[in-house]
C-alpha cells in the first residue's frame, strides 16, 4: 500500500478468535466485545468476551508448555531465531497491523506505522539478549567451594496491556519475556485487541511452540481479574491506571506472585529561560498532542521560568493552532481521536474544573464537529499545584502551565506529585540540565527532547507510577529468578564422628 494514500474503512467489521495452546478458538455462541472506531463512529472489530474458564484453559496450556521445556529449556540461540523471524513477520505485515491499530485506537496512521516498525526492533533486540543472558560465578569461596548464580525463567506470566499503545507496549514486554524463556497468557484491552491477536499468528508462523503465547480477550471482569488472582501464574505484568494497579496488587496476594506495574503519570516539562524556546515549544506541543495526550508519559505539566512565560505561551498557542487534527486514516493527520465518548467527556470535565478553580483557558477546550470523538489541544495557564488539573492524570491533550523563578522551585514543583514516571528538561546549560535531572523524581528523563527512545534503555516509574523495569537487558532479567549454587570440591570433612 502506498503510504501517502488514505486507506478506506472496512466493508464490514472483522471478527477475531482468541488463542490458546497454539490454536485459534472460535465459538459462534459466545458474547462479543464490539469495537466502534473512535474516529468514525462505525463498528470495525469484534473479539470474544472470554470467561474465567477460558483463562484457566490458557494458563493450563502455558503451564504445560513451560513444564515440558519446549521453550524454557531451548538454547538462547534457538529462541533468538524465533524472535528474529517474528520481527520479520511484523515488518512484512506492518501495513495491515498499522491499519487495524489505527481503526481501534483512533491514532494517526502515520504514527501507527511508526510504532509497528519500531516494535519489530524490540523483537530483534530481545533476540540478542536471549543469546547473551548469563549469571555469575564466585571463585573466592576457598579451595573447597565454588559458587554459581544462574538465571532461570520465572515461569508463567500474565500480561495485561492497555488500549493506548496496544502493539508497542506489547513489544516492550512480550519479546523480553520470551527471551527469558517464559510462557505467557496475555489479555489486551477489550477496545484494542486486534493487533495482539495478529501477533499470536505471527509468532506461530515464526515457530513459537504451541502454548508458549496465549491470548484471551474480553473485559477486566472477569478476564483480567482471573489472571491477577490465578494461583498458577507466577508473575503479572500490568500497564494501566493506578486504581486498577492497586487492585492487581491486592489480587497478587493469592499466591504471592511477582508484579510488574507501569501505572499513571503526570510528567513535568521544565523549560528554563536559556532554552531554545522554539525547539522547546515544539517538543512540548508534541509531548501533549502525541496520541491525543492519551499517553502515560505525556508531558502534561508545563513548568516554565517566569521571565519567558508569556512569550512561551504565545509560541505554544500558535503551534497548537497548526496541529492537524482529524481522520486518522489520512496520512496528513497529526492528532487523532479520543478512545471513547465517555473518556472525551471526562477530559472536558477536567477542563471545566480547571477554569472553575481559577486557571485561564489560553486555547483549545473544544470538540470537533462530525463523527468521532476529538478534542482540540488545550492550554490552561495560571495553574496552581493544588488544582485537580495539576495533580490528577487527565490522559488527554490538556497542558497545564505553572511558573517558577529558581531552579530549586522548578524541582519542587516537578516533584510535587504522587507520580514519578517521566520528565523533560529544556535548557542549553549542561550543568543545570544534569543537576535538575539528578533531583527530579522520575523513572525516565529526557533533556532537550521528549518521548523518545528504543529497546536499549529500561523504562518504568517510581512512586505511584509503578515498579519494575521493562526493555533493555534489565527487561529480560525482570522475568528471571536468581538461583545460588554452592558446589563442594574435594573430600567432605565428616560432621558426624
Length of the chain measured in residues: 497
- Is residue 262 among the annotated active site residues? yes
- Show the cell assigned to 22: 497454539
- Show the cell assigned to 341: 465518548
CA 211-198-183 angle, to 5 degrees, is 25
- Show the cell assigned to 390: 495539576
Query: How far is Cα 52 from Cα 226, in angstroms, rounded to an integer?
Result: 6
- Note whether 121 and 213 are within 8 A (CB): no
Helices (H), 257-401: 277-289, 309-321, 341-356, 388-391
Bridge partners for 476 per DSSP: none
The DSSP code sequence of 349-412 is HHHHHHHHTT-EEEE---B-SSSS--B--EEEES--TTSHHHHS---SSEEEEEEESSHHHHHH
CA 450-470-482 angle, to 5 degrees, is 150
Query: Which is nearest to 316 in space by CA: 331, 328, 299, 332?
Result: 299
- Note whether 167 and 123 are within 8 A (CB): no
Catalytic residue among 101, 229, 262, 478: 262
Catalytic residue among 182, 289, 295, 296: 296
Q: Three-class SS of residue 381? A: strand
Q: In which region does residue 395 sit, left (phi positive, over 0), alpha (psi from -120 to 50) or beta (all else)? A: left
- Note whether 16 and 45 are within 8 A (CB): yes
- Note whether 444 and 415 are within 8 A (CB): no
Phi, psi (deg, nearest 5) at residue 110: -65, -40
- Is residue 289 among the annotated active site residues? no
Active site residues: 262, 296
Amino acid at each position: 500500500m502506498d503510504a501517502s494514500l488514505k486507506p478506506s474503512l472496512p466493508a464490514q467489521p472483522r471478527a477475531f478468535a482468541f488463542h490458546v495452546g497454539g490454536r485459534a478458538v472460535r465459538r459462534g455462541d459466545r458474547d462479543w466485545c464490539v469495537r466502534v472506531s473512535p474516529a468514525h463512529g462505525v463498528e470495525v472489530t469484534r473479539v470474544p468476551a472470554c470467561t474465567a474458564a477460558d483463562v484457566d484453559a490458557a494458563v493450563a496450556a502455558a503451564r504445560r508448555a513451560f513444564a515440558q521445556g519446549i521453550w524454557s529449556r531451548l538454547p538462547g540461540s534457538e529462541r533468538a531465531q524465533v524472535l528474529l523471524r517474528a520481527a520479520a513477520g511484523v515488518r512484512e505485515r506492518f501495513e495491515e497491523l498499522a491499519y487495524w491499530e489505527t481503526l481501534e485506537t483512533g491514532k494517526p496512521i502515520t504514527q501507527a506505522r511508526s510504532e509497528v516498525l519500531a516494535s519489530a526492533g524490540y523483537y530483534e533486540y530481545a533476540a540478542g539478549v536471549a543469546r547473551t543472558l548469563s549469571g555469575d560465578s564466585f571463585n573466592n569461596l576457598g579451595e573447597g567451594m565454588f559458587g554459581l548464580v544462574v538465571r532461570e525463567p520465572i515461569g508463567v506470566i500474565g500480561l495485561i496491556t492497555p488500549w493506548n499503545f496496544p502493539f508497542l507496549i506489547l513489544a516492550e514486554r512480550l519479546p523480553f519475556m520470551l527471551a527469558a524463556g517464559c510462557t505467557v497468557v496475555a489479555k489486551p484491552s477489550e477496545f484494542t485487541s486486534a493487533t495482539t491477536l495478529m501477533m499470536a499468528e505471527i509468532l506461530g508462523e515464526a515457530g513459537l511452540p504451541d502454548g508458549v503465547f496465549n491470548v484471551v480477550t474480553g473485559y477486566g471482569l472477569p478476564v483480567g481479574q482471573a489472571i491477577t488472582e490465578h494461583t498458577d501464574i507466577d508473575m503479572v505484568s500490568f500497564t494501566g491506571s493506578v486504581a486498577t494497579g492497586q487492585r492487581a496488587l491486592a489480587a497478587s496476594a493469592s499466591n504471592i506472585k511477582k508484579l510488574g506495574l507501569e501505572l499513571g503519570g503526570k510528567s513535568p516539562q521544565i523549560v528554563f529561560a536559556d532554552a531554545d524556546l522554539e525547539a522547546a515549544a515544539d517538543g512540548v506541543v508534541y509531548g501533549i498532542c502525541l496520541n491525543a495526550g492519551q499517553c502515560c508519559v505525556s508531558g502534561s505539566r508545563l513548568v516554565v521560568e517566569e521571565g519567558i512565560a508569556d512569550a512561551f505561551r504565545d509560541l505554544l498557542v500558535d503551534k497548537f493552532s497548526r496541529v492537524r487534527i482529524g481522520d486518522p486514516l489520512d496520512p496528513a493527520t497529526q492528532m487523532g481521536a479520543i478512545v471513547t465518548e465517555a473518556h472525551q467527556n471526562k477530559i472536558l470535565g477536567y477542563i471545566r474544573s480547571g477554569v472553575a478553580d481559577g486557571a485561564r483557558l489560553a486555547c483549545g477546550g473544544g470538540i470537533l464537529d462530525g463523527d468521532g470523538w476529538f478534542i482540540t489541544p488545550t492550554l490552561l495557564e495560571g495553574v496552581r499545584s493544588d488544582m485537580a488539573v495539576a495533580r490528577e492524570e487527565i490522559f488527554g491533550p490538556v497542558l497545564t502551565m505553572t511558573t517558577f523563578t529558581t531552579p530549586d522551585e522548578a524541582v519542587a514543583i516537578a516533584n510535587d506529585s504522587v507520580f514519578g514516571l517521566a520528565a523533560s528538561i529544556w535548557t542549553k546549560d549542561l550543568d543545570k540540565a544534569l543537576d535538575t535531572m539528578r533531583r527530579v523524581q522520575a523513572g525516565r528523563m529526557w533533556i532537550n527532547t521528549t518521548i523518545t527512545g528504543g529497546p536499549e534503555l529500561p523504562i518504568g516509574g517510581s512512586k505511584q507510577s509503578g515498579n519494575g523495569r521493562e526493555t533493555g537487558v534489565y527487561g529480560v532479567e525482570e522475568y528471571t529468578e536468581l538461583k545460588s549454587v554452592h558446589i563442594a570440591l574435594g573430600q567432605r570433612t565428616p560432621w558426624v564422628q
